[in-house]
Amino acid sequence: MDLDGQAPAESVIAGSGEGRPTRSEAEAAVRTLLRWAGEDPSREGLLETPARVVRAYEEWFAGYATDPEDVLRRTFEETDGYDEMVALRDIRFESFCEHHMAPIIGRAHVAYLPRHRVIGISKLARVVDSYARRLQIQERLTAQIANAIDGVLRPRGVAVVVEATHQCMSTRGIHKTGVSMVTSRMLGAFRTNPATRREFLAMIGNPRGGAAG
């Protein structure tokens, strides 16, 4: 990206073969949506809204510009033989539903059983953010986090539990508030060893639905 955050003109949207729209094209699209909603984009309060929305999109969807596997590749060997569970609880994240582009607000719990190497705990949180800051469904987000950790670190096991509320359910459609969705992905020892799985679930407070996934 250049200094103002605009992607180079030659960048291509992943999987589409199309060039990424310019900032001015993105702002024009926001003005179209404002008109669709019944608003006047030229009124004082909305004049800067298209530019603000585009800047917000750069932050909300920054995950497309990151490689979670690169984040995981810096590991440490000086562990004095530590091979017990490493768990990070309550990693807050914000994402967006790919069906309605409504917010998904939640927290992820991540654990792994190191084989030879460990990763800095901030890297686990960055992996969650990297996948969350994309258009998502919660099931895929959960699997992506677990699969990336498993693929790069090659630990003896990986466990991920995600709890989230979906605004596409609470602010439209069925309009059910106070409902949270729980998804899990258990790999290696967390899937095959019930005691290991129970230890992890006890650490994170046994969220509903935290069975092997």
User: If DSSP codes are grouped into helix, strand and coil, which group holds residue 59?
Assistant: helix
Q: Which residues, listed in sequence order, are joined to residue 93 by a DSSP beta bridge?
A: 106
CA 205 and chain centroid, separation = 21
Is residue 164 a contact partner of residue 105, using CB atoms and an 8 Å limit?
yes
Selected catalytic residue, list 27, 58, 109, 138:
138
Residues 95, 129: Cα–Cα separation, whole Å:
9
Specify whether 175 is catalytic: no
**C-alpha to C-alpha distance for 159 and 171, rounded to whole angstroms:** 31
- Is 100 catalytic? The answer is yes
Selected catalytic residue, list 94, 98, 139, 199: 98
Active-site residue, selected from the candidate residues 97, 136, 144, 163: 97
Given a contact cutoff of 8 angstroms between Cβ atoms, the answer to whether 72 and 149 are in contact is yes
**Cα 78 to chain center, whole Å?**
30
Contact present, 104 and 167 (Cβ < 8 Å)? yes
- DSSP, collapsed to helix, strand or coil, labels residue 71 as helix
Which of 112, 127, 109 shows the shortest CA–CA distance to 209? 109
Q: Which residue is catalytic, options 100, 139, 167, 199?
A: 100
Residue 45, classed as helix, strand or coil, is helix
Pick the catalytic residue from 39, 167, 168, 199.
Answer: 168
Catalytic site residue 97? yes
Active site residues: 97-100, 138, 166, 168
